[in-house]
Structures are given as structure tokens and as C-alpha cells.
Amino acid sequence: MRCLSPMALAWLWWRGRKDPGYRANLDQRLGKIEPAPASIHGLLIHAASVGEVQAAQPLIAALRTTWPDHAITVTTQTPTGARALRKHWGDALQHLFFPVDTTSATTRFLDRLQPRLVVVIEREVWPEWLLQCQARAIPVALVNARLTERSARSYLRARGLMTPAWRSLALVAAADADSAKRLIGLGVTSGRTVVTGNLKFDQPGHPSGANNPLPHTNRPMVVAGSTHEGEESALLDAWPTLLLQHPDALLVIVPRHPERFDEVAKQVEGRGFAFARRSRNETPDSDTSIWLGDTMGELGHWYARSSLCFIGGTLIPIGGHNPLEALAVGKPVLFGPHTQNAAEVYGALARTEAGRPVASADEAILRASEWLSQPDALHTRGQAALAFVAAQQGSSASTLDALTELWVPLDPHQLHAVIEHKDGGTTTWHNPLLLDDARASHAFDPPGRDAVSLATGSGRGQAQQLKLNGHEVVLRHYRRGGMVARFNPDRYAGSAPRDSRAMREFSLLRWMKARGLPVPAPVAARQQSVGKNYTADIIVGMLPNSRNLVQRLAEATLSDAHWLAVGTAIRTLHDAQVFHSDLNAHNLLLDSDGQAWIVDFDKCDVRSGGDWKAANLERLKRSLRKERDRLPRFHWSEADWNLLQAAYTGKSPLP
């Protein structure tokens, strides 16, 4: 993939000759993204192109009822997919281009966005991407998954590469039972596979009335949507046959790819048809027989205005495009023999009055002429189209139910907005729920006399308790340890703000609070550039009436319930796959109610597996032994550790 990526980027640049969108944001294809602070540790939805974006629409709408918009990012592979997203959602959702599947590109992308759940639409399975997600304990769900027999055979030829990728998926929500069976055959875990139906059935129909932007006409219209090379010419050659019976009819051709618009226009002109182009805002007159839909994002509106539709990609071996957009607005459809991309949908459709398979363009035009001659029967077919779609709706709700299992007990609404301010070389982030904009700019001013210095474990930290915006908070300045601190106490190698210690801890705390973990609330974070280096500070919520284990044990023994609370808190952290790089007795707190808390998440992260968890606990035990040997009085024994361990393993001796 590293060898192929230059060719992939060159291909995108070449495609950009006709569509400049392919040349935009090429750095994002290498993982060099600049995500909004509020989107970090959020939800990522990947929809490769227009079809996947359209399929994702009902699911995105459902997810927005649970996730805040600022925590949702949508990636696409194509600029047409990006435009479809923008057309439907505007700027409500963050859009990024998906990276090429190399180690460096996917690592950069995931390190910067750090999503906590990835939802992939239909079949975008990239091995390196899945490997990197698995290493970060990021669950990946493949939804609306569709797999043809032909595609399954091609994947089997690369089973050595793809089998680990299929097995890494946390959830597969298949569009149909046949796809589910094929995916399990490729290596997807059967216990993680459910059949939720096709999301495209849940797409709302386009308005056919005043909100439709297309010019109105009373002439009968046959819309050929998403056509490919070879289909337009065949339909144009057959069209005069229909005009003999219906001379006022219009053939609307909407090519699948925008770069072919001019080519199709030349085909129409070369055959001597009088035609109008939508891109020029031309409207048909009495002599016009062809209307070229050479704009993007209006296919659903063309279908809504039509009398009947032909679905492109079915007369040639493409496999057929989505017929549901036409059916959802009550239009019967004609389609060719090549329907393997959605064989189950087309097969069911052929058994109703809503759809009819044809062998050629000539037959398609002949059937269209027959349908136009029978208006009552055509209306009945339209009602059958609506009934066909209604009978199979509900996939978005089923998919959302399945996805919920991957983020429980996450409360996405706790993923609050993040406000960013930049002033020269200083960048600050703050939580608007705890700090308003007016006070944010002064949050890191030198503390006043009422500030209280807090004890820290190693002596390196510099933490002070103060009141800010009516809240008791802790301001902590990041300081170095070891020999390097003798000549460089608090400066770190220059980096983008999002990669600084303060912002990374702020983002992690924000997600952990949404997860309900026993950690303080993030209030604000700051990075200040100092030449080629930076210094960093963070403000977190004060945990009232709390003291760390070292302070408590220096005075008295702890009760069994206290040790059990500490063990339970650590287990909660580890169950969420959070690795604490410095789990010690100074970073574990107990409040007056016996609640245990964990603090100081500098250089911590979310990681997969479980081998590191035992080492994390062992670090804590070493810190307790160290304090016992260092302090003249320290009320801790190995028996206390057994209580902590019992709570951690779920074998608490207390009821």
C-alpha cells in the first residue's frame, strides 16, 4: 500500500482535471487532518461516495438524536460524496477525507481524531485501518453490509490479508441474510453479525411539490438515472420508438459521473435530438424530446417528477444502482439484467407490480411506452412502489439498537462542546459548561493570594486549588522529571496544540467523563509556544473533600470499604481500556463519602488488549511499598492489597 499510495494520489490529481474536488485536501488523504477539538474522541462515520452517503442519511439522523453534532465526523473517499453530505447536512457535521491505507497515514489520522467508535457504511474494509483501530481499542462496526457472491470470491483470493480484518470487526449489521452468510464465510464472527435490513429503504422520499427545484412540466417523463457509458447511447437509439406513440414524452438522462456530462450531451446532439441542459437552466419547449440532468444531487428530484424510471448500471455489467430512491417517491422502475449489487432487492422487486426486468434498451423503451399508455395501471404500480418500500423500512432503528451495545455506558451528551481561542503563540481550549468565554481568556492568569498549593507525589508537579467562575478547580502546570528537569524544567518539543500534553489530557478526560469514569471534569487547557518548544497547563474540577492515598495512609489505616472502592475504580478504568502511565498512590484519591477517584492523565491513552493491566497494578503496588519505606508512618500492609485485588477481580468479600 505504501508503494501504491503515490499512484493513488496521482490518480486523484488526474481526476481533478474535470472535478477539482479530487485535488482538494490531498493532505487529508495522508492523515494530515486538523479536526475540531470537540470532535476528538467522538463518533466517526465512513461513507465512501454518494451512494453510501445517501444510505447513511437515515442512520445519521438517528445517531444525531443520541450524539451531539460536534462529536460526529463523516469521512468520504470522493468529492461527490462530500458534496452530497454538505448538500444534506450543511456544516452541521465535520467532514474529512478518508486516508490511504498505509501505516503512517492511518496512524496520523487516528492519533489526531482519536474516535471512540467507527461506523463504516456497506463494504469499506481496509486492513491497515482495522489493524490500527484494533490496537487503539476502537470498535469498528460495518453497517448496511452488502456482499455479492462475486465479491466474496474475490476476497477469498486474499484471505491471508483479509481474514484478520474481518475478524477484527466489532459488529456487522448486514443488509440481507445472504450477505450475512457470505461475510461469516469470510471470517466475520457469527456472534457479532446481525441482519438489520437495508438502510436505503429508510430514506425519505424527495418532495414533489413546491420544494422541488426542477422546473415543472405536464409532459410525461421517463427518467434514466445513474446511467453509464453504453446505456445512454442504447436508450437514445430506442427513444424514437416511444415518440411514435407518445410524441410529447421527455427522456431525462442523468449520468452517474459528472465528468461524462459533456460526452452525453454530444451523443444527444449527434443524433439530432432537440434537448435542454439542466446545468444551463434550460427548460424544454414543444420541440424538446431529451432533457439532460447534468447537475449533482438532484436525482431524487428528477425521480419525483417522473412518470416512471429506468435504473442505470443494469444494462451493462456494473451491477445496478439503488432503485429505492425512485420507489420511495412512488415511481415504478425498469431495470436490466445486471443487478448483482443488490440482487435480493431487485429479485423481490421483480415479484411485484413496482418493477419489471428488461433484457435490453429496446425492451425498456417498449415497456415504458406500454406503461404510459395505461395511466390507471401506472398509478397502481406507483402505489405498489410505495408499499414495497414501507414493508421493508426500520433498518435505521435496528442498526441503532445494535450500535448502542458498542458504546454503553457512554453518554454522548457529556461530550460537551470545546471552545478554542488562539492569541499569537497561545492556544486555549475550554469547557463552555463550566467556563464562559469572558473568563476563559483570564483562566490561566497568575493565581491570587487565595490560591492553595496542593501536595504532589514526586515534587515535580505544580498544582494549585483556586476558585474560577464560581467553581473550585485545580490548576496544574506540566513539569518534567528526572535529570532533564535540572536544565529544562517545563518545556517540551514543539507540536500542534492538539498534540500537546494539556490538550490530549483535556480530550481524554472529556471522553472519560462521558463514559462515567471516576475522574475530574476538564475545565480548560493551554499551550504556550516558547521558541521551538512549548509549556502547558490544565485546569480540572476540584474533587471536594478528597485526599490522596499517601496523605490518608500517613495518618491512619483505611477501612476495607475504602480499599474495595479503590480496586473498583481501577477496574472501571481498565474495563474502559484506559492505560494510566503513572498509576500510583498519589494519583488515587478518596473523598469524604468513600468514593475513589483517579487523577493526572498526562501521557495516558486508550489501548487494546489486557496484558498491560497487570503491570499497571504492579506499578501501584510498588508505589505503596515505596511510600511505606520512605515515610516514618504509613498505615499499609500487603493484606490491604489483597482487598484491593479482590475488588478489582470482582471477588469482593463485602456484600
What are the tens digits of pLDDT across the range 586-641?
Answer: 999 999 999 999 999 999 999 999 999 999 999 999 999 999 999 999 999 999 99
> What does the pLDDT average to over 532-548?
94
For the ranges 140-149, 231-240, 488-497, the maximum mean pLDDT occurs at: 231-240
Tell me: pLDDT of 157 over 60.
yes
Q: Quick one: which H or E segment has residue 622? A: helix 611-630
Catalytic annotation present for 19: no
Output the nine-digit C-alpha cell for 50. Answer: 454518494
- The fold for domain 221-375 equals Rossmann fold (3.40.50)
> What does the pLDDT average to over 188-193?
95
Tell me: pLDDT of 459 over 80.
no
Question: pLDDT tier at 208 (50, 70, 90 boundaries)?
Answer: very low
Q: Does domain 5-197 have CATH number 3.40.50.11720?
A: yes
Question: pLDDT tier at 171 (50, 70, 90 boundaries)?
Answer: very high
Q: Report the C-alpha gap between 432 and 445 in whole angstroms.
A: 18
Q: Any idea which residue has 407518445 for its cell?
A: 246
Q: Report the C-alpha gap between 43 and 63 in whole angstroms.
A: 9
Question: pLDDT tier at 458 (50, 70, 90 boundaries)?
Answer: very low
Give me the pLDDT at residue 201, please: 84
Quick one: DSSP state of residue 354?
Answer: T
What are the tens digits of pLDDT across the range 300-333?
Answer: 899 999 999 999 999 999 999 989 889 999 999 9
Catalytic annotation present for 611: no
| Candidate list 52, 101, 505, 602, residue with the active-site label | 52
Give the CATH class of 546-648.
mainly alpha
Domain ranges of the chain: 5-197, 221-375, 416-541, 546-648
Tell me: pLDDT of 83 over 50.
yes
Whether 117 and 44 have beta carbons less than 8 Å apart is answered as: yes
What is the residue-averaged pLDDT of the chain? 92
Q: Find, among 117, 50, 132, 55, the residue nearest to 85 by Cα.
A: 50
Output the nine-digit C-alpha cell for 131. Answer: 489493524
What are the tens digits of pLDDT across the range 331-343?
Answer: 999 999 999 888 8
| Candidate list 101, 582, 600, 627, residue with the active-site label | 582
For 137, what's the count of Cα atoms within 13 Å in the CB-facing half-sphere?
14
Least confident segment among 169-183, 455-469, 516-530: 455-469
Question: pLDDT tier at 54 (50, 70, 90 boundaries)?
Answer: confident
DSSP labels, 359-396: SSHHHHHHHHHHHHT-HHHHHHHHHHHHHHHHHT--HH
What are the tens digits of pLDDT across the range 627-644?
Answer: 999 999 999 999 999 999
Give me the pLDDT at residue 515, please: 93
6 vs 413 pLDDT, higher one: 6
CA 604 to chain centroid: 23
Output the nine-digit C-alpha cell for 418. Answer: 470545546
Tell me: pLDDT of 192 over 90.
yes
Whether 225 and 214 have beta carbons less than 8 Å apart is answered as: no
Question: pLDDT tier at 448 (50, 70, 90 boundaries)?
Answer: low
Tell whether the torsion through CA atoms of 382, 385, 387 and 393 is positive or negative: negative
